[in-house]
Amino acid sequence: MSQAFAIAIHGGAGTISPETMTPEKYEAYTEGLKRALDKGYAILEQGGASMDAVQAAVMELEDCPLFNAGKGAVFNHVGKHEMDAAIMNGQDKSAGAVCGISRARNPIQVARAVMEKTEHVLLSGAGADTFVVEQQLPIENDEYFYNQLRYEQWQEALLEGTVQLDHSEKKMGTVGAVALDQAGNLAAATSTGGMTNKKYGRVGDSPLIGAGTWADNRTCAISCTGHGELFMRSVVAYDIACLMEYSGFSLADATDKVVMQKLVTIGGEGGLVAIDNEGNIEMPFNSSGMYRAMRKSDGTIKMAIYK
Amino acid sequence: MSQAFAIAIHGGAGTISPETMTPEKYEAYTEGLKRALDKGYAILEQGGASMDAVQAAVMELEDCPLFNAGKGAVFNHVGKHEMDAAIMNGQDKSAGAVCGISRARNPIQVARAVMEKTEHVLLSGAGADTFVVEQQLPIENDEYFYNQLRYEQWQEALLEGTVQLDHSEKKMGTVGAVALDQAGNLAAATSTGGMTNKKYGRVGDSPLIGAGTWADNRTCAISCTGHGELFMRSVVAYDIACLMEYSGFSLADATDKVVMQKLVTIGGEGGLVAIDNEGNIEMPFNSSGMYRAMRKSDGTIKMAIYK
């Protein structure tokens, strides 16, 4: 079997400026991306499923404190962590997601369990935390999620009275992955800690099927990162699939129209990683940077932060 | 100004059989629908906004114990109420939504406040309940939400160990409204108590923009009712808008394709009310019944339960 396979990942988009990037930080971020990319790619190379590849890649990013997901999740208004994640299988459009969970080590693993162990798609809040415990998925205490940088970001946001989109260089948000496997199946996964100092159980686009996450073998797999509210109101991920299915757009044209035109018009800062069923990959963003990487079975490898 | 205006509402879809419907029950349901329809229509007739009309109609349905939303919300697994709602303005695609709130008298009012008083779109769980209190929106105690029929449904579901889609005649779910006002603006609103005996903070399609609720002046306004998980995975409401915008479908053709073909193929039982920017209304459903009503400025009035 020699069907093409490929994976693309992101570690968030935002106003990332080269001026404040030290060589050490650059090295750390690219190292984090590389570990996740390698993990996912290895699964695809061995003939594994795209669902396993995107989950493994996202778990690696969740375990890295540099990215706003899992261990690196930002603090909410009351100094806790509320994490969201979603995973979708392009083969049958089955999906699982969680929002507002606080204790799981790997929210994407919980999303996968929602998909496989329940008849539901989205579980939320305290109820979802109970599900994590009942499923005996790894949980962590506050110490695990504590991170001095995140703590300082929260204190700063508290003082300023602002809700921070985790979008400055110090405050990068959301991780995700999309992949095509050797069986021709697409998958997408997204995970995030949301906004620093967020209140009232705010949920963004990441865990919402069609908004921040989408996969359908007939069209594409998408994982978004950006200003969640505007991504939700634009149903970004499914909009790209519809442009492909109903208007005959290529992946490149559809992602360009949504990210570089439609979202720009409404001030929806961010980007996404996308893959179609031929293994074409697009990683567009309208912010100054997006942590991203991709690797294809034809030997193409790319890793970048700025434009 | 003599621009056409119109409103359509629903009180849930499911396996509603004429055999078990008594004249008294029929009277009560149609009376409940009529009150909501009249409330919304009066606002449109006086030149009011579609946003106010759909909110008023849904609040009326939330206040009626017959429908699974607000006062009539079903019991979850631990004997509490977790309610979801969303509202969307077709003029600027602004939106507000809540999921898993437990104390608000009118969840749709909370969704409207999320849209107007915060920079967010979706608030969840305990955090969203805090928002309700801070906004001084009407809250109610357990007694208000207590309802013998709902209690018995919950006890039955507990015994059977099932999660009930509120889809038998006894267990009808979700309310919603869509409207076009004299200024040519579309709006949609949806509210639900979800599934009887639901666990783990399960959230369905109702509060998700693009899934259960959508409004865009360029295409249509939609409010869905049905098997939430399958509606989420199909991004039902936005799919109809995309078929209109990208494939040039009429509202009738787009709703027919999604409800009577695509959803039927995957077993996604339910229906929706839809209106386009010319005031055309569609109320398709693939279940045996859907509580529904509509009224147009040209004099058309319709109210029905069965096919």
Task: Determine the residue of chain A that is closest to B239 in CA distance.
Answer: A242
pLDDT digits (tens, 9 = 90+) for A72-85: 998 888 888 899 99
Instruction: Tell me the percentage of chain A whose pLDDT exceeds 90.
Output: 80
pLDDT digits (tens, 9 = 90+) for A191-229: 999 888 888 999 999 999 999 999 999 999 999 999 999
Q: Is A300 exposed, middle or buried (0-12, 13-18, 19+ CB in 10 A)?
A: exposed
Residues of B with a Cβ under 8 Å from any A Cβ are: 82, 93-95, 99-100, 118-128, 130-131, 163, 199-204, 208-211, 228-229, 232-235, 238-239, 242-243, 246-247
pLDDT digits (tens, 9 = 90+) for A82-117: 999 999 999 999 999 999 999 999 999 999 999 999
Q: DSSP code of B269? A: -
> Which of A126, A200, A210 lies nearest to residue B211, judging by beta carbons?
A210
Q: Tell me what pLDDT residue B166 has.
A: 47
Res B1 pLDDT > 50: no
Res A167 pLDDT > 50: no
The mean pLDDT value of chain B amounts to 93
Res B152 pLDDT > 90: no
**CA A275, CA A292: separation in Å to the nearest integer?**
13
Among residues B191, B175, B165, the alpha carbon closest in space to that of B273 is found at B175
Tell me the average pLDDT across A160-171: 56
pLDDT digits (tens, 9 = 90+) for B175-184: 999 999 999 9
The mean pLDDT value of chain A amounts to 93
Res B79 pLDDT > 60: yes
pLDDT digits (tens, 9 = 90+) for B202-242: 999 999 999 999 999 999 999 999 999 999 999 999 999 99
Q: Is A95 exposed, middle or buried (0-12, 13-18, 19+ CB in 10 A)?
A: buried
Q: Does the beta-carbon distance from A123 to B202 stay under 8 Å?
A: yes
Edge-to-edge order in the sheet of strand B270-276: B213-215, B220-226, B270-276, B281-282
pLDDT digits (tens, 9 = 90+) for B83-123: 999 999 999 999 999 999 999 999 999 999 999 999 999 99
Distance from CA of A303 to the nearest CA of B (A): 31
> Which of A123, A228, A243 lies nearest to residue B246, judging by beta carbons?
A243
Q: Tokens 């787009």 map to which residue?
A: B254
Distance from CA of A4 to the nearest CA of B (A): 27
Q: Tell me what pLDDT residue B264 has.
A: 97
Q: Hey, what amino acid is at A191?
A: S
Among residues B200, B266, B190, B232, the alpha carbon closest in space to that of A213 is found at B232
Among residues A142, A141, A103, A107, the alpha carbon closest in space to that of A122 is found at A107
Distance from CA of B87 to the nearest CA of A (A): 11
Res B169 pLDDT > 80: no
Q: Tell me what pLDDT residue B164 has.
A: 58
Based on the residue annotation, tell me whether B219 is a catalytic residue of this protein: no
Q: Say what the pTM is.
A: 0.95
Backbone angles phi, psi at A227, to 5 degrees: -75, 95
Instruction: Tell me the percentage of chain A whose pLDDT exceeds 70.
Output: 96
Q: Tell me what pLDDT residue B248 has.
A: 98
**Packing angle of the helix pair A107-117, A50-63 (nearest 10 deg):** 150
Contacts of A123 in chain B (CB under 8 A): 200-203
Contacts of A239 in chain B (CB under 8 A): 238, 242
Please state which of the ranges A118-127, A188-197, B76-85, B152-161 shows the lowest mean pLDDT: B152-161
> Which of A124, A199, A246 lies nearest to residue B100, judging by beta carbons?
A124
Domains and CATH numbers, chain A: 6-299 (3.60.20.30)
Among residues B60, B30, B29, the alpha carbon closest in space to that of B43 is found at B60
